[in-house]
A and B are shown apart, each in its own frame.
Chain A
Amino acid sequence: MFREAAARMTLAVILLGLPVGIIGYRYVLEPTLNAESIFEVQAYAPERGGFSPAAIRVDAGEQVTLRFTSMDVTHGVAIGPGLDINLGHIDPGEQRQISLTFDEPGTYTYYCTTWCSPDHWRMRGIIEVRDPQNNNAASQIQPDPVIERLIEEGIDIDAVHTGSADHEDNILFELTSAARGSELIDSVVVPDELREIDWLRTHTPAESLTILSALNTSHSEAELRDVIAYLWTANSTYTADTVQTYNQNCAACHGESGNAEGLAAALTAEEPAAFGDPAYMFSMRPDVLYAKIRRGGMGTDMPNFGTLFTREETWALVDYLWSLAFEPELNE
């Protein structure tokens, strides 16, 4: 009689107690005891749905844990803009998590940093951080003054830019060196405005070559190109993090050296820009590069990164592109 009662009790514990206990702990007790909100985010390749969930809502000031699990292939996860959070690679079945508190309301993006599929760049999710005092307040997207100004100027951000078609010119351009320019800079007349960052960001190196050529007739064009290379890279703001950002987000198409021969280059609608080609870069304005990064390229497969990087991070990235073009020793 006792054995039967014990067996029945055991059966009840197994069939009722175990499910109720575990589900109750997970969905009632744990959230009650733990002030921290935990979000489970499953990472699938974009063609299988990308991040799930793809949108998370949290309150500013609330401590949250984001736990990412790779469900199929190796992914990488970073969160931006401006948070400097990079969880690194997540192999299939593995998890990475981070606990953090968003101080300010706004919109953040978690995104894949590892080339996981041809649609890799679509793999993004949104974290909407609300003001707990005013839940209805929608976050305002602030217009970017750089992009606004380009539109006012009538600059076509998506215009196709090519380097010199002349083969000899291209060979000469390949020899452009900021290092040699630094040795020549004191012997060259450079108007003050050409040293100002605002001017540099809104003009092409080709325009400055026209100005310098008129003022420095004794210098060869090759020497002046070296000086311009120096001017465009002298005040670089990029860091090791910027290089990592480029390698994780841009190199798949544009190539780590900027040779436009990344693994995915052949898959894009348009040939990716070759930032390592000085001839190409001589025709580019930094603010146009900035705008393309933040807004994406219309008609190409260039995604927008404005929701991933801060404006400062984007300028640092642009600075790195000039270094790819004018500091060939970077790739040696």
Chain B
Amino acid sequence: MLDQKRHVDLLTTFPSLKRLLRSRSFQPGMMLLTLFVFTLVILTGLFGTPVGSRNFGIIFVWIVWWGLLIIMLVPFLGRFWCSICPIPAPGEWLQRRNIITKRLPKLRTLNKRWPRQLKNMWLQNFGFLGVALFSVIILTRPQVSAWLLLSFILLGVVLSVFYKNRVFCRYVCPVGGFIGLYSMVSPLEVRVNDPNVCLTHTSKDCVTGNEYGYGCPWMVYPGKLNRNIDCGMCMECLKTCPKNNIALNMRPFGTDLTIQKEHRLDEAYKAFIMLACALVYSVVLLGPWGELKNAANMQSIPHWLVYATSFLTFVLVLVPSVFGAFSAASWLLMKRTLPLRQVFIDFAYTLVPMGLAAWVAFSLGFVLVNGSYALSVLSDPFGWGWNLFNTVDVPWVPAAPQLIAFLQTGVLVAGLLFSVQTGYKIAREQMKLHRKAFAVMLPNSVFLILVTLAFMWLYLG
């Protein structure tokens, strides 16, 4: 049962919100809107100016969308973006042979089974790393960005032909992986009001679908849903549930992070990858080291290969190893009462708030500085000399440059405190006694402090 004191069901509080989310038109309508912008992004990328700062695609994807996603949507609304993301839309509509209304009793696919070995986050981890290796090029070259996004949407369509539901979103999408991880921090969740109602409900309409909607496209059984990571917030379960048992709760931040029985190595590695990438990006993209930027920008293949090797070693080996050493210290402090692997994985979840804070801090650095480009490219999305809204000559003006360092510091400190608190909760679950838990969490806290100091050094110099 839910802790009713700390959770507020928004659907009960705001009936109009419930009506909106139950409507079959709302989600496809939003997806059509984002698909329109997405198509414009592809077109401007392929046919517009190759100058990133003058191209709608680059500015609206990597500054406007990214800023909204990582600074606003993920921390506060979790996976809400996944519910309106245009990338899986064509594939999903192809499976359903309809956009809004439910026409077919079953999805039209080749009904292949997704391999059991891939029912985890590893593909998303490596997909993200693959994109990250080329990120400097992707972020600055509109054509490369456009082809990448186009390949995502085509992959989504191809997978939807072979496999039912949103296999692409759940197991493949490199963006979806970290949105899922960080959505566990978010104060918004889709859950059932009473799991016992689900247990006694035999038809399980939320899984099988009914005349009001489809079975969960994310292949989740809402009755046992206890973390945001796999829920795409599509609200299909709200439409199909005949028991009126679905809730959209406001809750304390980070509630999912301490559910230790769900902790997994693939998710732990996602936390390492994201934190380490935030550090590398801060060094490469915001740092004063031009040679490093040139190497990441593939100015010469040998230099890039050195960069790529160093990058992968840092992300996949060095950061987890150093973290592992601190986990081993915790393990020794708890007198080896739990397997080291479990301690390592459990404490990796303390990196989730810290990683999200690091990404928010990193993104603040360039979103506020470059946000004003959005007005200019809105009037001339292709860089063809248009002036649609009379804003093409709006000069580039960094927003609140004197505040950025303070904001970054505040976010990083908040992330640190949140992570330390998460570490304590995890240790408390492991050790039960406050004094022992406090001792066990100390090495992890030291690691978190060191990482925070590293970010602060980079941002405040």
Contact = CB atoms under 8 A, between A and B. Distances in A.
Interface of A: 1, 3-4, 7-8, 10-11, 14-15, 18-19, 22-23, 26, 42, 67, 69-71, 92-93, 95, 97
A70 B382 CA distance: 16
Contact of A3 (B54, B101, B383): B101
10 contacts: A3-B24, A3-B25, A4-B99, A14-B39, A18-B36, A69-B54, A71-B51, A93-B53, A95-B54, A95-B385
Given A14-B32, A14-B35, A15-B39, A7 B99 contact: yes
A11 B93 contact: yes
Interface residues of B, number: 27
Contacts of B382: 22, 26
B39 A18 contact: yes
A20 to B, nearest CB: 10
B383 to A, nearest CB: 7
B43 interface: yes
Interface in B367-412: 382-385
In the A-B complex, the 10 residue pairs with the closest CB atoms: A7-B99, A93-B53, A93-B51, A14-B36, A4-B100, A4-B101, A7-B100, A3-B100, A10-B32, A18-B39
Given A93-B51, A93-B53, A11 B99 contact: yes
Interface in B231-257: none
Contacts of B54: 69, 93, 95
Contacts of A42: 50
A19 B99 CA distance: 21
A286 to B, nearest CB: 44
B47 interface: yes
A1 B98 CA distance: 11
Contacts of A69: 49, 51, 54, 383
Nearest to A40: B49
A19 B43 contact: yes
A22 B51 contact: no
A288 B100 CA distance: 81
A315 B54 CA distance: 42
B213 interface: no
B50 A19 contact: no
A263 B382 CA distance: 37
A11 B43 CA distance: 16
Contacts of A7: 25, 28-29, 32, 99-100
Interface string B93-125: 100001111000000000000000000000000
Contacts of A11: 32, 35, 93, 99
Contacts of B50: 42, 71
A71 B142 CA distance: 12
B177 interface: no
B99 A8 contact: yes
Contact of A4 (B90, B98, B384): B98
A281 B373 CA distance: 52
A114 to B, nearest CB: 17
A23 B47 CA distance: 8
B361 to A, nearest CB: 26
A15 B39 CA distance: 7
A20 B72 CA distance: 34
Interface centre among A7, A67, A71 (most CB of B within 10 A): A7
Contacts of A22: 43, 47, 382
Nearest to A42: B50
A18 B86 CA distance: 16
B383 A95 contact: yes
B439 to A, nearest CB: 54
A22 B57 CA distance: 15
B63 to A, nearest CB: 14
Contacts of B29: 7
Nearest to B32: A10
Contacts of B36: 14, 18
Nearest to B99: A7
B133 to A, nearest CB: 22
Contacts of B39: 14-15, 18-19
Interface in B65-108: 90, 93, 98-101
Nearest to A25: B384
Given A7-B28, A11-B93, A67 B385 contact: yes
Nearest to A23: B47
B52 interface: yes
B40 interface: yes
A97 B383 CA distance: 13
Contacts of B383: 69, 95
Contacts of A95: 54, 383, 385
B385 A18 contact: no
A84 to B, nearest CB: 24
A3 B26 CA distance: 11
Contacts of A19: 39, 43
Given A15-B35, A26-B382, 14 more contacts: A3-B100, A7-B32, A7-B100, A11-B32, A11-B99, A14-B35, A14-B36, A14-B39, A19-B43, A22-B382, A23-B43, A42-B50, A95-B383, A97-B385
Interface string B137-169: 000000000000000000000000000000000
Nearest to B55: A93
A5 B25 CA distance: 12
A209 to B, nearest CB: 53
A31 B431 CA distance: 75
Nearest to B51: A93
A71 B36 CA distance: 28
Contacts of A26: 47, 382, 384
A97 B384 CA distance: 11
A23 B35 CA distance: 18
A55 B98 CA distance: 51
Nearest to B53: A93
Contacts of A70: 51
Contacts of B53: 92-93
A10 to B, nearest CB: 5
A22 B44 CA distance: 10
A30 to B, nearest CB: 9
Nearest to A10: B32
A75 B36 CA distance: 36
Interface string B284-328: 000000000000000000000000000000000000000000000
A18 B37 CA distance: 11
A42 B383 CA distance: 12
A131 B454 CA distance: 66
Contacts of B40: 18
